[in-house]
């Protein structure tokens, strides 16, 4: 017999594990009962959660109705129910009530704010109406009106001069914030005062333009050729002065104005320039006095309903009708 020969292990020496042992009928029944109990417990818990959620949502509905909450706020309370499903029902009611009370306070504050804003708007309107009679154009605003009224009048593309104040008011409204007129627009009473100021400043600008244009052809002290006259009026009227160059349209417009002024004031029965009182007030800040040219003929009364600028506007319309709107054409340059 070999020394390394092993003898088979006897059955009594084998090691057994409990899980290897077959279950008896009794043990199998106990395991089945345990699983059934777990399933029943889970079903009971799910039913309890469903009941609690339903009860809390019903309670939230009544609470939201009592506190006058909004639909989105009620949805937030529903969200709290889903988040706190593991809390006790009484605990959740306290938490939800605290949140609902906070939302009610916020709603009250919001409502009071809206009422205050509405009242403030009405109060501001009343103040504006009451204080409209005390409203005056400030010095800075008046200076802006003067500058832009002159500049608009000297526009090289202008063919209508009696409507400049409407264009000026539209320009001011479009640039109200930049020019300091933002507190005027939106108030009808103040807008009427501003419109009157625009009309006055534009009238003054027209008056200056008419007088200076006539002086360049009549007054011996100022009389000059078209080029120098254009530079002179640009210094008086154009915002920023003549600059390094002027568009040829400035000379064209001044040539038409000088020709019309000569024909208007020198024609038989025409008013004398020193008695032609339309647009008679000059800008108060103009340092240069505009003297009426010497007229050797005796003074003549202004013809009834005769208006220089109305006649000049009509003259421009006749020229455009005859020569076309393109002022760069050969017809206009002749």
271-293 pLDDT per residue, tens: 666 666 554 444 444 434 334 34
227 Cβ contact partners less than 8 Å away, ≥ 6 residues apart: 251
Q: Report the C-alpha gap between 146 and 203 in whole angstroms.
A: 10
Alpha helices in 68-186 (DSSP H): 71-83, 89-131, 139-153, 164-174, 176-179
Angstrom distances, CA of residue 194 to CA of 17, 61, 128, 164, 190: 106, 58, 15, 14, 6
When comparing pLDDT for 270 and 228, which is higher?
A: 228
**What is the pLDDT averaged over residues 307-315?**
90
Please say whether the beta carbons of 188 and 153 come within 8 A: no
Cα end-to-end distance, the chain, whole Å = 146
Among residues 46, 53, 54, the alpha carbon closest in space to that of 84 is found at 53
By C-alpha distance, which of 105, 90, 201 is closest to 145?
201
pLDDT of residue 148: 95
pTM above 0.85, yes or no: no
Helix (H) or strand (E) holding 58: helix 25-67
Residue pLDDT, tens place only, 115-174: 888 888 887 777 766 665 577 889 999 999 999 999 999 998 888 999 999 999 999 999
Nearest to 250 by CA among 119, 144, 158, 323: 158
pLDDT, average across residues 289-317: 61
Min mean pLDDT across 27-36, 45-54, 172-181 is at 27-36
Distance between CA atoms of residues 167 and 156, nearest Å: 15
> Is the dihedral angle over the CA atoms 319, 320, 326, 330 positive or is it negative?
negative
pLDDT-derived band at 233, boundaries 50, 70, 90? very high
């Amino acid at each position: 017999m070999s020394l390394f020969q092993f003898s088979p292990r006897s059955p009594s020496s084998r090691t057994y594990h409990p899980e290897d042992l077959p279950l008896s009928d009794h043990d199998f029944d106990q395991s089945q009962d345990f699983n059934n109990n777990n399933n029943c417990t889970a079903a009971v818990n799910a039913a309890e959660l469903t009941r609690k959620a339903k009860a809390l949502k019903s309670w939230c509905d009544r609470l939201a109705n009592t506190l006058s909450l909004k639909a989105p706020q009620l949805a937030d309370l529903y969200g709290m129910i889903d988040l706190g499903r593991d809390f006790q029902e009484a605990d959740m009611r306290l938490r939800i009530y605290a949140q609902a009370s906070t939302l009610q306070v916020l709603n009250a504050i919001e409502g009071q704010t809206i009422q205050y804003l509405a009242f403030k708007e009405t109060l501001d309107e009343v103040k504006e109406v009451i204080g409209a009679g005390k409203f005056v154009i400030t010095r800075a605003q008046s200076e802006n009106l003067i500058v832009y009224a002159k500049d608009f009048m000297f526009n090289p593309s202008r063919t209508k001069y009696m409507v400049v104040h409407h264009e000026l008011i539209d320009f001011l409204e479009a640039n109200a914030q930049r020019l300091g007129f933002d507190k005027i627009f939106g108030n009808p009473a103040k807008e009427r005062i501003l419109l009157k100021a625009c009309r006055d400043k534009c009238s003054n600008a027209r008056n200056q333009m008419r007088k200076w244009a006539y002086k360049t052809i009549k007054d011996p002290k100022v009389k000059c050729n078209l080029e120098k006259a254009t530079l002179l009026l640009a210094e008086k009227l154009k915002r920023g002065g003549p600059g390094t160059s002027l568009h040829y349209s400035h000379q064209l417009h001044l040539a038409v104005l000088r020709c019309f002024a000569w024909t208007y004031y020198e024609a038989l029965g025409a008013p004398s320039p020193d008695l032609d009182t339309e647009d008679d007030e000059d800008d108060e800040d103009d340092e240069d006095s505009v003297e009426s040219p010497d007229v050797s003929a005796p003074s003549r009364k202004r013809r009834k309903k005769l208006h220089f600028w109305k006649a000049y506007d009509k003259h421009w319309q006749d020229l455009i009708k005859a020569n076309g709107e393109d002022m760069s054409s050969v017809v206009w340059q002749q």
